[in-house]
Chain A
């Protein structure tokens, strides 16, 4: 994934706030990188732009060899489809759908992408087994521990074999041991599936798990 000269500002004139200023970065398949920075530095804004959910003011972005952003304009009308096929999301609070059990949370995203129910369910089961939560596949999210829920969320993020995984504070709710396990798991999966992982974090105990660390200050990388 390549980002070049991405800027984002909110408001105009005296109320203008530059959240991102001419940000450029490359992330390669199998690489796990971190975005650090104090609150308000632009980490989440950058994550939203890379996740194609926030329109940037300027810049260019390539994803899996496809130019999806040029001069601040999205080059595709179906950004949701792009997210579904190429981007996996992992959230701080895991954000599993509360009305689906673990396996259906992993199945639904595949069905949304057009995979038939049988194939999707089989693949979901395999992913949960790989992440060592297969024994909890019929548990509802409310019944899962923090670590189990985060593993199910990782399985969901991986379900459509995305090229890039965006993780927003994925270890914030975990103790250091489990945080380390989750990050090692992400690294293993990134290498195995040839995907890039971009993680927003404040969690110092996992800094040693990243290939590169980018620091944002006042919107500059």
Chain B
């Protein structure tokens, strides 16, 4: 006869409510873990999208994401001529805020050369950009749909394709336009400002500037060796893909990552304390029946088994509720929530460990009960 199950069945409503409460708490922990992972994944997404080996940026900078970087537009041709480079492309990155459906819409605009590295990694709806000007591919999280026309700077662009999961480290959805349009958007001055510049005698700014050049190498080529070769040009810096990812995950989002990590740890500690208190309280409510069991001769393992099984049932049911809840609602979070099976499994193991530790408190209390208390007097 399973005493743990019988006791749970006797107080089923209260037990399930307790599981629900614990499930909500564990759901919040899972959500924080998912947000934490999502932050890192978001930060790396844009850098991984071009699927390149090298990033060439302005000398003494760690651009184009962590620091501003401006290099001449013809750098791409010089990079493309280096041995072992199989393809190179120029890129610009900038954040733009525009109007959409009566509200503000922040977009991360990526300018790229058609047919060269740096374009959208996949098209899930519509087509790639086919014209030189005023077409865009947008991430679907922007809310933009095919055929939608949207104003960027002084020009209106038409959405011709949709991609997915392309956001920057701030979770702003990416839109891809041609390099020429992006350079105009980023560097072209408004007419009034241009007139002021001409009146001051300043020459017009050189539009042929990009933020980075990306390069793919021959599969057998050394990334480090090629990067070293590029660094010999004093006006350029070269980062391998791995270095770029380290900058993004360790530097750009480091504080946010640590803050969320710390908050997640605190939530885990709070959850552990709450689980321990629930199990301890559940045990304390059963002191009289436990004393009776001890008096009539039940061995300690029967009593310990009852408490531990209830603790595990509470933890596992609560965890299942929390996991189901977060899996069900994670798509509705404003930021991406990434829940990998290994993260979920790890939290499951932590919950089981916490339940076992927490039940130790209850077990200790139960084993200390004097069976004579069942007799009274």
Contact = CB atoms under 8 A, between A and B. Distances in A.
Nearest to A88: B296
A117 B292 contact: no
Closest 7 CB pairs of A and B: A84-B297, A99-B10, A44-B377, A83-B297, A99-B7, A95-B292, A80-B297
Interface in A71-92: 80-85, 87, 89, 91-92
A54 interface: yes
B320 to A, nearest CB: 23
Nearest to A112: B298
Which of B7, B298, B299: most chain A CB closer than 10 A?
Answer: B298
Interface of A: 43-44, 47-48, 51, 53-54, 80-85, 87, 89, 91-93, 95, 97-100, 104, 107-109, 111-113, 117, 140, 156, 168
B295 A51 contact: yes
A104 B6 contact: yes
Given A107-B1, A117-B1, A44 B375 contact: yes
Nearest to A86: B297
A138 to B, nearest CB: 13
Contacts of A92: 376
Given A99-B9, A112-B297, A117-B1, A168 B302 contact: no
A48 B375 contact: yes
Nearest to B302: A112
A111 B375 CA distance: 22
Contacts of B375: 44, 47-48, 51, 53, 89, 91, 168
B289 interface: yes
B1 A83 contact: no
B372 interface: yes
B7 A108 contact: no
A198 to B, nearest CB: 13
A100 B376 contact: no
A96 B160 CA distance: 75
Interface string B134-162: 00000000000000000000000000000
B296 to A, nearest CB: 6
Interface of B is mostly: helix
A48 B10 contact: no
Interface of B: 1, 3, 6-7, 9-11, 288-289, 292-299, 302, 370-372, 374-377
A195 B10 CA distance: 34
Contacts of B9: 99
A53 B288 CA distance: 16
Given A81-B297, A112-B302, A113-B297, A168 B377 contact: yes
A112 B296 contact: yes
21 contacts: A44-B376, A47-B375, A48-B375, A84-B297, A84-B298, A87-B297, A89-B296, A92-B376, A95-B288, A95-B374, A99-B6, A99-B7, A99-B10, A99-B11, A104-B1, A108-B1, A109-B296, A109-B297, A112-B297, A112-B298, A112-B299
B299 A53 contact: no
Contacts of A140: 10
Contacts of A48: 372, 375
Contacts of A83: 295-297
Given A80-B297, A80-B299, A109-B296, A100 B6 contact: yes
B297 to A, nearest CB: 3
Nearest to B290: A97
A189 B7 CA distance: 31
Contacts of A107: 1
B242 to A, nearest CB: 59
Contacts of B372: 48, 53-54
Contact of B295 (A53, A100, A108): A53
A97 B293 contact: yes
Contacts of A168: 375-377
Contacts of A156: 296
Contacts of B299: 80-81, 112
A97 B292 contact: yes
